Every structure is written in C-alpha cells, then in structure tokens.
A = this chain, B = another copy of it.
Amino acid sequence: MSVNLIGSGNLATHIGITLNNNGLKINYVWSRNLENAKILAEKIKTTYTDNFTEIYNNKAIYLICVPDSEIKSIAKKINSENSILIHTSASTNISVLEKFSTNCGVFYPLQTFSKNSKLVNFKNLPVFIEYSNNNVKNILKYLCDIINAKLIIANSEKRLLIHIAAIFANNFTNHMISISNEIAGSNKIDFELFKPLIIETLDKITKINSIDIQTGPSVRNDKNTIKKHLKALKKYKDFAKIYSFVSKNIQKMHSKL
C-alpha cells in the first residue's frame, strides 16, 4: 500500500528521510507550501504537490505531519473512506480522525525535531501508538519495525500527559538556558564561559535522578541569597517571576522528600 506524507516541516522531514532510508517508498509529499514540498521530495526522491486531488488514491496510508490546528481540515480533504489516516500529534485526540475514517491511528515519536539539525536516530526511540482497529495497529507496528523504533501503546489521554512532561524536559529546559543566555548577554558576560557548567549539568541529568542532584540557594532554602537575586533581577520582571516561582517549587518538592 502506498504512503503519502502530508507536511514538510520538522517531523515530516525526519520521518520521511528515515522511512526512505529504510526502504519504504513514499508516494507523494504534500505541503501547502510547494517549495518546501519540493525540497523534501527531492531528498527522498519522490513526487510532490500542493493539490489534494492529485494524490487521491483508492487506498493509501496518509501520514499526517502538520500543526495540530490543521489536522482536522486536512483529514476532511482526504478520500478517507478507502484510506488510512495516521496523525503524529502528541496532544490531538484520535477522535479528530475518527470522524472521517474508521481506519485511523496515531504515531507519536517522543523526540524533538528541527529541520536543520542532524537526522534523528529512531533506533530504540519510543513511538506511542493508538489505533482504531488491528489493521491499523499492524501498519503502525510495521512502520516502527522498519525504523527500529520502540513501539508503545498509549491512549490519547496518556499521550497528552507524556507531551506535557516532554515540554518540561525539552522546551522548558531549553528556555531556562535561553534566559541564562539573555541575562549573561545583556550584562556583557560571555555565554561561552557557561559551557562547562551546562555540559556538567546535562551530563548529570542523563545519568543521575535530577531530584537527587539539585544544588543552589533554592534547595538550601537560602532566603538571603534568593532575596539578593530577586533584587538584582529588578529590570527583568518576567525572569524574576519565573525565578521566584521555580525557586519556591524547588523548595516545596525537596521539603517533601
């Protein structure tokens, strides 16, 4: 059965290239941005389009990798009766597809994808799946198998919580570094100097339970230092707010241990 890749963004790029590298022929790349569709299609040596009527098949697997807000309108456009709809969204309920097809599923790889970074290694990467029937389950299992991903079954409710935990682990850790960078930069402190600290922090996080390795004034409940810091953050109102909240939460979490 042919596979149509819907989307040309971060995930579509990584999953498309990985499937292609593992011998799966992608029939079409569709994107509302034709230029992006072309760039990805050339990478995986296939055809591309921005026109849905062109990819109408009797039966195809549609791997939908578009922003959450567009999944519904995309599903509506597909010849759903004969096709299998699979979305890749963490926080979209499978029910959004069930309105359009009895054959639908979810394929959510727990990873962060950027177009311009090196190809994500799917080997042993957890992929959370959900499906409307065993036929779709087998297709999802096949997709996981050929890319050596680790298949895990999870319903929409659980997937939502996994996504939230992933946002803290990825987007929010990343933003803490951005804030650090901003404070350093606006005070003419070379952020390169923070690299050994960041590398040591990250090395520990991956090896030791983060709760056990917390250091700093918050976990020591060093009120005097925290007060000094909040005063020094006066001109960074939002950062002061985040400092205060996160700091209190560190104290709370550790006082319960």
Contacts and interface: CB of A to CB of B under 8 A. Distances in A.
Contacts of A124: 196
Interface residues of A, number: 90
Interface in A187-211: 187, 189, 193-202, 204-206, 208-211
B238 A249 contact: yes
A173 B215 contact: no
A206 B222 CA distance: 29
A68 B220 CA distance: 11
Nearest to A225: B91
A205 B241 contact: no
A110 interface: yes
A67 interface: yes
Interface in A157-175: 158, 160-175
A193 B215 CA distance: 25
Contacts of A200: 111-112, 120
A242 interface: yes
B163 A229 contact: yes
Interface string A100-121: 0000000000111110010011
Contact of A91 (B114, B172, B217): B217
Given A175-B249, A245-B241, A250-B175, A169 B180 contact: yes
A169 B189 contact: no
A73 interface: no
Q: Tell me the number of copies of this protein.
A: 2
Centre residue among A173, A222, A233 by max chain B CB count within 10 A: A173
A232 B198 contact: no
A143 interface: no
Nearest to A209: B181
Contacts of A206: 195, 198-199, 202
Contacts of A117: 204, 208, 213
A32 interface: no
Interface string A27-65: 000000000000000000000000000000000000000
A214 interface: yes
Given A112-B200, A204-B117, A179 B175 contact: no
Interface of A: 10, 67-69, 91, 110-114, 117, 120-121, 124-126, 150, 152, 158, 160-184, 187, 189, 193-202, 204-206, 208-211, 213-220, 222, 224-225, 228-229, 232-233, 238-239, 241-243, 245-246, 248-250, 252-253
